[in-house]
Structure 1
Amino acid sequence: MTVNVGVVVRYRKAVTYGVHALLAALEAAGTECEIRFGTTPEETAAEITACGADRILVLWSFYSPDAEAMAAELAAVRELADDPRALHVAGGVHATAEPQHVIDSGWDLAGIGEGESTIVALVEALRAGTPLTAVPGLALRDDDGVALRTGPAPQPPLDAFPSFPAPRRTVGPIEITRGCRYTCRFCQTPFMFGGRFRHRSVDSVREHVRRITAHGLRDVRFITPTSLSYGSPGPDPDLDAVEELLSAVREELPPHGRIFFGSFPSEVRPEHVTPAAMRLLKRYVANDNIIIGAQSGSDRVLAASGRGHGADPVRAAVRIAVAEGFRPNVDFIFGMPGEDATDQRASLALASELADLGARIHTHTFMPLPGTPWRDAEPAFIPLETMRALDRLAQRGDAYGHWRKQAEHSARLAETARAYPRRAPRRRV
């Protein structure tokens, strides 16, 4: 007897892209499910109750700083909808890096790694009544509360699954690259998706654009860890591949269509900003700004973090971008491990210099993110003098960001890291 499986999504703006990819995988696999969305805990509980399926997968996705708040929401949803049909599943970078924490926080399952193959296999296992231990990419709670991991989830080519399913509500940016060869010690991306680039083909991107325009939409954006790396396996940009991509997108768009590339939700590495690259973008894109990852003005801190560039390429990138008609938004992270007062002064001096050139500074506070080499690292102290300097930049309109809130998240993440040591024993099913 086949079990009817429904899906309820705890739908949050911050993580829609990942959820869309899972729903797209179900659609591409021909897996028919009743799909419902809850935009609040109360609405999520109501959708669980209203769902007519025999078994219900409740999908949660969140970043590490949101784990505590999402656990409180989960408890509220369970209290409002204590439904034996429901199986609550957490996915994303935090669940991948900290499955034991996720299981201890109340979820039934944690998704480990890339979720497309896992969600398809999970729905099929529930339909057939087969053991979930055969589903790749999961952590399940054993009788003692230990998170037992199944086999690893596969990492298929990006063309294997769309970035989003067909309904208009779920249309979003096109993921053109997954994984990152730049293994920055503070970043979760390369350690979840792998230390190499996997690029979506131009033909697949064309199909996505046709899906977008079929809904009457005209703007196309992209998800990629480093925009100008598209089509390249290594550190150097392949501008011919980038132009092939952008030209193909333009061909698929109506005359009033717009391309946004190198701006949110992606960025550009500073050493990739050359006059030729900026002129190429100028021929195709609608955005008048680009996001450049600087992260620090200290060569010592940049080397320790594994960024692969120093401060000088950042200066050069901003000058070039401004000269070619773009306003750079430049990311800085304060409080990185080992950072001292000299390093912070170097970052503040560079940030002020770049602002004078015409850039806006996007300020961040270092967070010891799970799954990264710096998960257990101690954030550097940010003195009042540095805080005041950042405030002055913001008051001038030259800086923006939520670095104070991130400082609070950083403290909570450090507490979680201490409670769940990296070397905690893990057993595989």
Structure 2
Amino acid sequence: MMHDRSVALAQADHPVPRAHRGGALKMCLVGPPTVTDFEDPEVAESEAIRLIAEHAPIGVLSLAAVLERHGVAPQIVDLNRLYYAYLRAPGEAAAKPDFCSYVAAELDKLDFDVLGFSSICSSYPLTIRIAQDMKRRRPDVPIIFGGPQASVVDVPTMQAYPFVDFVVRGEAEETLPALIKTIAAGASPAGIQGLTYRDGDRLVRAPNAPIIADLDAIPLPAFHLYPELKDCHYVPLELGRGCPFACTFCSTNDFFRRKFRLKSPEKVIEQMRQVRDVYGITTFDLIHDMFTVDRKRVIAFCEAVIATGETFYWNCSARTDCIDDDMIATMARAGCKAIFFGIETGSARLQKIVKKNIDLNEATARLVATDGNQITTAVSLITGFPDETMEDLRDTVHFFVDSLRFDFAEPQLHILAPLAETPLESRFRSQLVFDDILSDMSHQGWRQDPVDREMIQQHLDIFPNFYSIPTPALDRAYLRELRDFLLNGSARFRWLLVALHQDSGDVTKAFEAFRNWYAATPDKGPRPGLQESRYYASITFRDDFFEFVRDVYAPRLARTPRVLHSIMDYERALIAETPLPADTAIDGHDVSDITLVPKLVDGVVLTECAADYQRIIRCLRRKGDLRRIPRKPATIATRQHADKRLDVVLLSPLSAQLLKLCDGERAISEIATRLVPASRSMANIPTDKVCMFGLEVLRQQGLIALHRESAISASQA
């Protein structure tokens, strides 16, 4: 394949690394970043983003271990960690260099002979720019690209960017060591499979390398090269490779060529033990797109883990039609805590079109089983398919909201990204448009760097995931806003969203009514980017939506306003304003001392609901008739801890009455005189004894503390 002559002349010869001072050849492996689009430090530092970012870069660590076996001395650079160092560096943001220059300067401090970059689609422009800067700084250092994105756009990448010397395609455990050996010897890479390289003015794309058949032969990732592992919540370990299915939007089957493979249970358990014994971590993300395809091997793995008598916790991915209730129960016993389910669409029609072919009733049944086994499930859905209609979209939205009825389900909604070389991208390549309606399907954030944008617009063939496939029947701006509404609404007021859906029959009606109300409300001022993700991620959105439900939806549109008010009151109570500094120990006072003054512990919030909240939730779980919920006032106490744990207590009438009297001013003796027995069973018990018993229960629950003097006396002192 020929490319531009001027590019060829500039790179006619293979770069030869500078002579290294004896010992092994030194290679620097750079992991791909996933959080660099979140330029707002507050967003990047949020718990949700940090959980994505602060994990070991398993791909380059695995290759590092392989290279060590071949006498190469690797070092690892994690761009996610480097990005946090960049954000936290002192000085004004405007005075800092751009992140690309910052990374290049940091890499330039290191000693290496070869530089390798792993790649993913969302940050591929940044990876290319860093590589360009490094080639300018060190022209003699060979630059190698690998990973999912570079593998599928190898030729257009090397045509457009002459500073990329090699692309290692697909599984690299054999190709990369062979290439490094060739580079060290100053020889031609001809004959190395799975490699794209330059030969004079030609690009040579060698045949694909064979897949790695024996995954047990791959060593434990080189975690010793990643000192930050001690700070990680979990450790990723590869469980297997390959997916036998052929979904039209997915790139996995291309990268691993659809050949399904699993490591043996013995090897996986051995590696889990190694990590536990060295690093003290017992939670693992077992990486395989389709672990549960082979039922016998899944059961064999689970039984092997159970037989060890050791405690390991793990997550995995599965199809809902390749798993059953008995398997889920066995997985739970073996330590499975989370499963990723790719449902993709709630439309039975689209299931066939995109070749996912999942039975949606069966998928719901699997959510029932995982919920019953307390396994957290990511329910992944996608919208924005080219054949999608409004009816299809509503089906997907309904599946999303119905998933919220399960405590352990965490639904996701993504906008379709046309991933390079997938059947969908190939079919619609000539129709792709650059409309700034970004997908988060591949970790894309809210913006691109202006330089990245220019690259993207110049090279559709390299960066198609930043483009959009037209949706003739749907407004893509509407899709983006609906996605942001659902994702942030489910995070901030989960049960209110479910109740609105059940009350209206279609939560999109409530969404559209909210948009219309916002646009027509003068005191809102200029719209704060209502169609932008930043607005929906803000506290302002939550407060605006509560105002809308209280003042507009409940009184004018709702069939069950009392239920909506009760749920909204409860959701508002969960927003604790003063978290406890620590778990409050029970004080040493005795409630029999009637001179003591009880007071609510800081962080405790009382909320009055117009109906029994727990009964409402039971009704929502089973899709019952909300109109049958009776008016029954109830009081709820919430208490947030410093570690963000939240205690929620539905108070008995006695407890509610007592807590309202515990204002920090009244002593126990005065409270007893004001207490009215809440039931006939207590009518013959002395009020002071009822009072002391109730206060002791509340103290044991951590809702009140006893003091020697009232809050007024203390303030006057």
- TM-score tier, shorter chain, comes to 0.7 to 0.9
Aligned to 1:102: 157
* Aligned partner (choices 206, 209, 221) of residue 150 of structure 1: 206
Would the alpha carbon gap of residues 222 and 35 (structure 1) be closer, same or farther in structure 2, given more than 3 Å must change? same
Hey, what does 2:118 align to over in structure 1?
61
* CA–CA separation in structure 2 for the residues paired with 1:387 and 1:38: 31
SS at match of 2:196: strand
1:153 CA drift (Å): 1.6
Distance 1:7 1:304 in 2: 45
* Shift in Å, 1:173: 1.9
Letter in structure 2 aligned against 1:207:
E
| Correspondence 1:174 to 2:237 | yes
Of 32, 45, 51, which aligns to 2:72? 32
CA distance in 1, matches of 2:122, 2:222: 28
Q: Provide the secondary structure at the position in 2 that maps to 1:272.
A: coil
Q: Note closer, same or farther for the CA distance 1:26–1:299 as it changes in structure 2 (3 Å cut).
A: same
- Among 377, 392, 396, which residue is 1:347 paired with? 396
Q: Of 308, 312, 335, which residue of structure 2 is paired with 1:258? A: 312
Letter in 2 for 1:135: I
Whether 1:242 aligns to 2:298 is yes
Corresponding residue for 1:9?
A: 29
- After TM superposition, the score normalised by the length of structure 1 is 0.79
TM-score under structure 2 normalisation?
Answer: 0.49
Q: Does 1:396 align with 2:436?
A: no
Q: 1:151 aligns to what SS in structure 2?
A: coil
Does residue 1:274 correspond to 2:324, yes or no? Answer: yes
Give the greater-gyration-radius structure (CA). 2
Q: In structure 2, the residue corresponding to 1:185 is in which secondary structure?
A: coil
Q: Name 1:417's counterpart in structure 2.
A: none
The answer to whether the 8 Å contact 1:3/1:126 transfers is no
Q: 2 CA distance for matches of 1:321 and 1:361?
A: 14
Give the CA deviation at 1:44: 5.0
Q: Does the 8 Å contact 1:273/1:320 carry over to 2?
A: no
User: Which residue of the partner structure matches residue 115 of structure 1?
Assistant: 172
Which of 287, 297, 317 lines up with 2:346 in the alignment?
297
Q: Which blocks of at least 5 consecutive residues in structure 2 are unaligned?
A: 1-18, 35-55, 83-99, 230-234, 433-468, 495-530, 534-717
- What is the rounded CA distance, in whole Å, between the counterparts of 2:318 and 2:421 in structure 1? 23
The answer as to 2:291 corresponding to 1:227 is yes
Q: CA deviation at 1:115?
A: 0.7
- In structure 2, how many angstroms separate the alpha carbons of the residues matched to 1:61 and 1:96? 10
Partners of 1:184 and 1:365 in 2: CA distance: 16
Q: Which has the higher contact order (CA 8 A, sep 6+)?
A: 1
Q: Residue 299 of structure 2 contacts residue 327 of structure 2 at CA under 8 Å; is this kept in 1? A: no
Amino acid corresponding to residue 190 of structure 2 in structure 1: T
Segments of 5+ residues of structure 1 without an aligned counterpart are 406-429
Aligned to 1:88: 143
Give the 3-state SS of the residue equivalent to 1:90 in structure 2: strand
Q: Deviations over 1:236-295 (max 9, x none)?
A: x22xx3233234345668x5x432133xxxx221123422122112212152x4321110
Where in structure 2 are the equivalents of 1:35-46 lying within 5 Å?
35=75, 37=77, 39=79, 40=82, 41=100, 42-43=102-103, 45-46=105-106
Residue in 1 that maps onto 2:188: 131
Q: Distance in 1 between matches of 2:358 and 2:262?
A: 23
The equivalent residue for 1:423 is none
* Residue 286 to residue 317, structure 1, CA distance change in 2 (3 Å): closer
